[in-house]
Amino acid sequence: MQAYLVGGAVRDELLGLEVKDRDWVVVGATPREMLAKGFKQVGADFPVFLHPRTREEFALARTERKQGRGYHGFTVYSAPDVTLEQDLKRRDLTINAMAKAENGDLVDPFQGRRDIEDRKLRHVSEAFAEDPLRILRTARFAARFHPLGFSVCDQTMALMKRMVDSGEVDHLVPERVWQEFQRALHEQAPEAFFEVLRDCGALEVLIPELASEKVFQLAMAALGCVHRRLHAETEERFAALLSPLDAPVARDRAIALKAPNDCQNLARLVTAFTPQIRDIDAQRPEAETLLDLLDQADVWRRPERFSQLIKVLECALPDDSLTLDLLRTASEAATGVEPRTLLAHGYKGKELGSAIQTERLKRIGDAVAPTNH
C-alpha cells in the first residue's frame, strides 16, 4: 500500500504557487484496510477516505469507463490491482496528471512537467473526449493560468471542437455548467474562459447570444472591467457578462443557466437600465426620469444592490459616466427623505406616499439643477 500526492498540489508546487488542497491516491489497498487504519469513508460513487488526523482526502486508485452520454455516463473500477499510472491516465490535463511519492520523487508519465515549462494545457489521452465537462474545466484552467502565459495546445483545442461537433456539450446539465461558470468568473482572467469556449464552439451551445464578435467583445470588456475592481461579487460579474444583451434575452439565458436569483435579478436590472441610461440627456436630465429609475431599482429597500447596479453599468456603459453620476447624485438626494418627518406633518396613507414622492422629486431636481442650462 502506497500513498501519492496527486493533481493540483503537485502542479501548484511546481509552479511555485501556494498549495491550498492536498489530495492523495492510494495504490494497493482495499476499503477494509483503509478503515482499519482509522480513515473515514466519504465517497459514495467510489472509495474516498478522510485521513483521521489531517482530514485530507485519500482516494483509492481507480479507472473509469464511458457508458453513456454526458458527464454522468461512467462506471468506476477501484481495486488493489489498479496502478498509479492507470489512475493518472483518467485525468483531464497533463499538468493535473502528476504524482509525488512520499520520498519526494515525481511520477510524471504524461510529461506534465514539460507542459508546465512550455505553458501548455494538453489532454492526457483520448479519453478526455468522453467527458464534456472537461471542456469547461480546461477553459477554467486557461482563465486561472492565463497571467502565467498558459494556453490550450492546438491538439486539445481540435479535440474539444470535435467534442462540440459530436453534440457532447448538449448533454451537460445546467446545474453543473453553472458551477463551472461561477468558478470561472472568479479566476485570474475570467475573459480567457469564455475565449476558449468561443474558440472551440462551446459558447454557441451554452450562451449563443454572445457568439457574435461585437456582442462578445462588449461582454468581455464589461466583465474585465468589473473583475479588475476589488471584491466584485458573482452577481456583478455575471451581470457584466450579459450586459450587452436585450433584457428579455438576458432574462431567458440567466434562467436557462439556472443562475441564482441574485444573479438573475442584477442581470435583469443592468440590461433593463442600459437603453434607459443611454436615452438620458446628461446636460438636461429630467428629475422624473431619474426618480423612475430609482423606483425601478428599488433603491429605497435595496441600496446595496443599487450600488452593484451602478458599478456594473459604469463598466458596461463607459461613455455614459456623466449620466451615471447624475443617477448616483439623485439617489443620494432622494434617499434623504424621512417618512417620519412627513408623518409628523400629518400625512398618512396614500397622501403620505404622494408626499414622499413629491419631496424626492424636489430634492432630485435641486441636486441636478446645476447641469440644466
Average pLDDT of every residue of the chain: 91
pLDDT at 62: 86
pLDDT at 342: 61
- Please say whether the beta carbons of 149 and 119 come within 8 A: yes
| Cell numbers for 113 | 512537467
Q: Work out the average pLDDT over 13-24.
A: 93
- Please say whether the beta carbons of 339 and 353 come within 8 A: no
Amino acid in the structure at residue 347: Y
- Check pLDDT > 60 for residue 68: no
- Check pLDDT > 70 for residue 70: no
- Check pLDDT > 90 for residue 222: yes
pLDDT at 371: 47
CA–CA dist 144, 132 (Å, integer):
19
CA-closest candidate to residue 109, choices 121, 127, 91? 91
- Check pLDDT > 70 for residue 305: yes
- Which residues share a beta bridge with 232? none
Q: In this predicted structure, which of 52-61, 94-103, 247-256, 317-326 has the lowest mean pLDDT?
A: 52-61
pLDDT at 337: 72
Q: What is the pLDDT of residues 289-298, one digit of tens each?
A: 999 999 999 9
- Predicted confidence band at 373 (pLDDT cuts at 50, 70, 90)? very low
**Domain boundary assignment for the chain:** 1-111, 271-371
- Predicted confidence band at 1 (pLDDT cuts at 50, 70, 90)? confident
pLDDT at 348: 67
| Cell numbers for 55 | 482530514
- Please say whether the beta carbons of 208 and 165 come within 8 A: no
CA–CA dist 254, 260 (Å, integer):
9
What DSSP character marks residue 123?
A: B
CA–CA dist 27, 161 (Å, integer):
35
262 CB contacts (<8 Å, ≥6 apart)?
A: 235
pLDDT at 51: 93
297 CB contacts (<8 Å, ≥6 apart)?
A: 269, 273, 305, 306, 309
| Cell numbers for 138 | 480546461
pLDDT at 77: 76
- Check pLDDT > 80 for residue 372: no
373 CB contacts (<8 Å, ≥6 apart)?
A: 283, 284
pLDDT at 65: 67
pLDDT at 346: 63
- Predicted confidence band at 270 (pLDDT cuts at 50, 70, 90)? very high
Q: What is the pLDDT of residues 313-369, one digit of tens each?
A: 999 999 999 999 999 999 999 987 776 666 565 666 676 767 788 889 999 999 998
43 Rama class: left (phi>0) / alpha (psi -120 to 50) / beta? beta
Domain 1-111 is found in CATH 3.40.50.300: no
- Predicted confidence band at 72 (pLDDT cuts at 50, 70, 90)? low
pLDDT at 319: 95
pLDDT at 76: 72
Q: What is the pLDDT of residues 152-207, one digit of tens each?
A: 999 999 999 999 999 999 989 999 999 999 999 999 999 999 999 999 999 999 99
- Predicted confidence band at 45 (pLDDT cuts at 50, 70, 90)? low
Q: Work out the average pLDDT over 36-44.
A: 86
- Check pLDDT > 90 for residue 299: yes
Higher pLDDT, 233 or 1: 233
Higher pLDDT, 353 or 146: 146
Helix (H) or strand (E) holding 117: helix 112-118
Q: What is the pLDDT of residues 84-106, one digit of tens each?
A: 999 999 999 999 999 999 899 99
